[in-house]
């Protein structure tokens, strides 16, 4: 495929021409703003990754079955998405987009949309059924920011945050609401987070059909000022059986969960080991919850409340404060469900100003810390 990095080579040429031969070095060569547009190939992307400080992706069309691979960006690169980014159709696992590097700035221009047109894959079966690409692997992003990205209709999971350190995601929109029709969208988790530290997700707007946030492992993670609609709520876990099973210091604050199966959920596997420590939910509003307002379970096994609650993954230092779910739970749902393996596997909980009503009382809560109650 013909390289479309026209401005890229132009800017590099100008930089080369401006310097004397002796000071033409890699720094000068990288002093370039490059724009890629239209159908792009791996060659033009690789060239831009090597030689541009700012890469603008303007209305690009990524060929079927390929990753838009920005996983090895040079330090301090800026990536700007402009117009509509599209992907061709192929049944494969993805990811459709991968970005990694240090001190990376990723932005969406006003009106820009990343549109993988997931409806082409949706069959109501998510991870099963036909092979569907995961969307965005935000892996190994260090000291980086992602601002104002708008993502529409992912085939399944939207954003995977893995191996990241000091990453701030601001004002991201993930709109998979079209997947509600005929229940075709499935496993469309918005943010899956693992083995990462110092992550902030601020001002996210999510319409999907699975977890809004799922933290499987990691340290110092904050989700704030968000809206989660249509999915499975603000989740820790499932924790257990992965390469890292420690969740430490996670805060969900000032957010609304609506039209969802769950509001707040912590799920650990009964037969595994690990630790869930220092998780806080504060200033959370719940509305129209069909299943569980608050569900904290040590007996998750791929499904909620399956089998005997275990003690191998203690939940310690859990705070729920100012949780407003008055009348939020459907009358067939449950307001608050807690299943702990023992009194020593759920310790140091703070439960203050938590009001979740509308649903039934669950009959099989176990070892519920005295500060809370199953209701």
Ligand X SMILES: *[C@@H]1O[C@H](CO)[C@@H](O)[C@H](O)[C@H]1NC(C)=O
Candidate list 28, 139, 232, 306, residue with the active-site label = 232
Rule CB under 6 A: is residue 78 a binding residue for ligand X?
Answer: yes
Q: Is residue 50 within a helix (H) or strand (E), and if so which, with residue range? A: helix 42-51
Q: By C-beta, is 3 or 166 nearer to ligand X?
A: 166
Q: What is the DSSP-derived secondary structure letter of residue 127?
A: T
Interface of this chain with ligand X, residues 237 to 266, rule: CB under 6 A: 244, 246, 254
Own/partner pairs, 123-130, CB within 8 angstroms, 24+ separation: 123/184, 124/182, 124/183, 124/184, 124/186, 125/186, 126/156, 126/186, 126/187, 126/188, 126/210, 127/156, 127/186, 127/187, 130/91
Q: Is cis: bond before 238, omega within 30 of 0? A: yes
Q: By C-beta, is 117 or 282 nearer to ligand X?
A: 282
CB of 73 to ligand X, least distance (A): 11
Rule CB under 6 A: is residue 368 a binding residue for ligand X?
Answer: no
Rule CB under 6 A: is residue 147 a binding residue for ligand X?
Answer: no
Rule CB under 6 A: is residue 54 a binding residue for ligand X?
Answer: yes
Instruction: Give the x-and-dash track for 118-137 against ligand X (CB under 6 A).
Output: --------------------
Q: By C-beta, is 105 or 319 nearer to ligand X?
A: 105
Rule CB under 6 A: is residue 357 a binding residue for ligand X?
Answer: no
Q: By C-beta, is 91 or 283 nearer to ligand X?
A: 283
CA distances from 171 to 11, 72, 180, 206 (A): 31, 24, 23, 10
Instruction: Give the x-and-dash track for 311-340 against ligand X (CB under 6 A).
Output: -----------x-x----------------
Q: How far is CA 88 from the centre of its chain?
A: 23
Phi then psi dihedrals of residue 119, to 5 deg: -55, -25
Q: By C-beta, is 84 or 324 nearer to ligand X?
A: 324
Q: By C-beta, is 228 or 374 nearer to ligand X?
A: 228
Identify which range of 25-33, 36-44, 341-349, 364-372 contacts ligand X by CB under 6 A. 25-33
For the packed helices 42-51 and 6-18, what is the interaxial angle rounded to 10 degrees?
30
Check: CB of residue 314 under 8 Å from CB of residue 340.
Answer: no
Burial of 65 (0-12, 13-18, 19+ CB in 10 A): middle
CB of 244 to ligand X, least distance (A): 4
Q: Is 126 helix (H, G, I), strand (E, B) or coil?
A: coil
Interface of this chain with ligand X, residues 152 to 181, rule: CB under 6 A: 166
* Alpha carbon distance 24, 17 (integer Å): 9
| Out of 162, 218, 270, 358, the residue judged to bind ligand X by CB under 6 A | 218
User: What does the block give as tokens for 189?
Assistant: 């988790």
CB of 309 to ligand X, least distance (A): 23
Interface of this chain with ligand X, residues 91 to 110, rule: CB under 6 A: 103, 105
Check: CB of residue 273 under 8 Å from CB of residue 313.
Answer: yes
| Out of 37, 47, 187, 195, the residue judged to bind ligand X by CB under 6 A | 195
Residue number of the CB atom closest to ligand X: 324
| Out of 3, 145, 316, 347, the residue judged to bind ligand X by CB under 6 A | 145
CA distances from 142 to 34, 67, 71, 73, 162 (A): 23, 20, 12, 11, 11
CB of 246 to ligand X, least distance (A): 5
Q: Is 232 a catalytic residue?
A: yes
Q: By C-beta, is 102 or 373 nearer to ligand X?
A: 102
Which positions are annotated as active-site residues? 232
Q: Which residues form the interface with ligand X (CB under 6 A)? A: 31-33, 54, 76, 78, 103, 105, 143-145, 166, 195, 197, 217-219, 225, 227, 244, 246, 254, 322, 324, 353
């Amino acid at each position: 495929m013909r390289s479309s990095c026209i401005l890229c080579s132009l800017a590099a040429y100008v930089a080369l021409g401006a310097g004397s031969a002796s000071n033409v070095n890699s720094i000068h060569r990288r002093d370039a703003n490059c724009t890629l547009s239209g159908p792009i190939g791996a060659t033009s992307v690789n060239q831009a990754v090597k030689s541009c400080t700012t890469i603008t992706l303007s209305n690009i069309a990524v060929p079927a079955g390929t990753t838009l691979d920005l996983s090895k960006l040079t330090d301090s690169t800026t990536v700007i998405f402009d117009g509509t980014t599209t992907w061709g159709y192929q049944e494969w696992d993805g990811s459709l987009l991968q970005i990694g590097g240090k001190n990376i700035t990723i932005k969406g221009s006003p009106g820009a949309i990343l549109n993988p047109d997931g409806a082409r894959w949706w069959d109501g079966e998510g991870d099963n059924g036909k092979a569907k690409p995961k969307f965005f692997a935000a892996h190994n992003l260090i000291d980086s920011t992602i601002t104002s990205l708008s993502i529409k209709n992912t085939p399944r999971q939207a954003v995977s945050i893995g191996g990241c350190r000091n990453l701030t995601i601001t004002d991201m929109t993930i709109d998979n609401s079209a997947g509600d029709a005929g229940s075709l969208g499935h496993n469309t988790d918005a943010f899956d987070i693992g083995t990462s530290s110092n992550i902030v997700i601020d001002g996210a707007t999510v319409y999907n059909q699975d977890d809004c946030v799922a933290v499987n492992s990691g340290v110092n993670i904050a989700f704030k000022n968000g809206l989660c609609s249509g999915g499975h709520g603000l989740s820790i876990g499932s924790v257990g059986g992965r390469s890292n099973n420690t969740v430490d210091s996670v805060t969900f604050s000032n957010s609304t969960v609506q039209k969802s199966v769950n509001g707040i959920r912590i799920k650990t596997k009964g037969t595994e080991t690990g630790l869930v420590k220092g998780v806080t939910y504060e200033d959370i509003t719940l509305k129209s919850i069909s299943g569980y307002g608050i569900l904290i379970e040590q007996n998750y096994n791929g499904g909620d409340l399956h089998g005997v609650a275990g003690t191998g993954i203690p939940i310690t230092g859990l705070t729920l404060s100012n949780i407003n779910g008055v009348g939020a739970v459907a009358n067939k749902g449950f307001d608050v469900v807690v299943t702990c393996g023992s009194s020593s596997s759920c310790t140091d909980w703070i439960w203050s100003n938590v009001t979740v009503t509308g649903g039934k009382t669950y009959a099989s809560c176990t070892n519920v810390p005295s500060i809370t109650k199953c209701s």
